[in-house]
Amino acid sequence: MSKNPLGQLTDFGQSFWYDNIQRKMLKNGDLEKMIQQDGLRGITSNPSIFEKAITGSSDYDQSLLDYAKTQNPTVDTRAAFFELAIQDIQAAADMLLPVYQTTNGVDGYVSLEVSPDLAHDTAASVKEAQQLYLRLKRPNVMIKIPATKAGIPAIEQLIADGISVNATLLFSVERYVEVAKAYIRGLTTRHTRGLPIDNISSVASFFVSRVDAILDAALDDKGAAGMHLKGKMGIANAKVAYREYLALVESDEFKQLATAGAKPQRLLWASTGVKNPEYSDVLYIDGLIGKNTVNTIPPATADAFRDHGTASETLSSGIETAEKEFTELHDLGIDVSALMNKLEADGVASFAKSFDNLLTAIDDKLHNLDSSVQGAA
């Protein structure tokens, strides 16, 4: 059977991960079907995804009730959320374990994020990440850490501890390089302790569509002079980051670690659903296909690429053009650095808001479920 465009991504060295998780897909065969037919190699989750999954269905109601019965006198909604999330992450990790094994630990991962309100607290992020990793009890899980200033040392510490990390909410190339160097430092620390480093994996989740959204708005303010750059800067930003990745894996420091079995920290393209309806619905898949990368694709975009995407190597070409386009942005007076910082701050705030909404919704559900049970009794 010939592979569809999603399945063909692996022919060009790119892994297809799914930017979605919900209990229904774990039970009705959808996830297994994607693994077999689409070449799915991993799953990412975030607070917004879990908010939609838990509040938008009754799939979690029984588990919530069961958990509530074990708590006395009151239920901690944060603890209740992680109980539900861990169940899903474990189930998905078990289904992806064969991928993890056949790829020698390169793929087959499922990511779970620490509480978003810890994004600016290094010590608390490390502590919760360690606790989640121990509770998950799966080799093929990654703990997501927002790549804020406080997140950088947390990422380094967790890698040194032997915990695979998904560094998320990356927008600027400069911050990506900080993350990549933290990964290398963490591996170095672990290696000097005489501990294995061949069983650790990491991705740096570089957001794409949000970059176009904010830079397109900035270009609109500049009038006709910048119109030719609209819809191009998200991919351009990713290509410049990929250039840095190629340099880092060729550095003497990483090559020494690679001889001890270290895996490169791959760039993962996130936020690849198109936000502007005027753009191709597969823009951020078609334009970012390249060796040793991951694209975590949301449901609608995955369906679109499966239907009419084109799998071909596109990432390594046009890097010089991408750099020139950023020079044009600066010449137009657009403060790219400030806008990238705003994207990071907005991203942290958005996930924190989703998390708060989720906890409120869980609390409401528990009260409603408890009332319905009592009423039935």
Domain edges within the chain:
5-367
Rounded Cα distance between 263 and 245, Å, is 13
Contact 234, 279 (CB under 8 A): no
Fold (topology level) of 5-367: TIM Barrel (3.20.20)
The interaxial angle of helices 336-376 and 209-220, nearest 10 deg, is: 130
pLDDT at 372 (0 to 100): 57
Among 63, 69, 64, smallest CA distance to 363 is for: 64
Contact 285, 305 (CB under 8 A): yes
Report the predicted TM-score, pTM, of the whole model to 2 decimal places.
Answer: 0.95
Contact 340, 171 (CB under 8 A): yes
93 to 42, 106, 141, 211, 279: CA distances (angstroms) = 9, 14, 7, 31, 34
User: Taking the CA of residue 100 as centre, how many other CA atoms within 13 Å lie in the half-sphere pointing to its CB?
Assistant: 20
The one-digit pLDDT tens for each residue of the chain (377 residues) are 579 999 999 999 999 999 999 999 999 999 999 999 999 999 999 888 988 888 888 899 999 888 888 886 688 999 999 999 999 999 999 999 999 999 999 999 999 999 999 999 999 999 999 999 999 999 999 999 999 999 999 999 999 999 999 999 999 999 999 999 999 999 999 999 999 999 999 999 999 999 999 999 999 999 999 999 999 999 999 999 999 999 999 999 999 999 999 999 999 999 999 999 999 999 999 999 999 999 999 999 999 999 999 999 999 999 999 999 999 999 999 999 999 999 999 999 999 999 999 999 899 888 887 665 444 44
Contact 130, 145 (CB under 8 A): no
pLDDT at 375 (0 to 100): 47
Contact 5, 306 (CB under 8 A): yes
Among 144, 137, 170, smallest CA distance to 158 is for: 144
Cis peptide before 98 (omega within 30 of 0): no
pLDDT at 56 (0 to 100): 86
Residues marked active site are found at: 144
Contact 175, 147 (CB under 8 A): yes
Contact 281, 304 (CB under 8 A): yes
The count of other CB atoms within 10 Å of the CB of residue 364 is 12
Rounded Cα distance between 133 and 84, Å, is 15
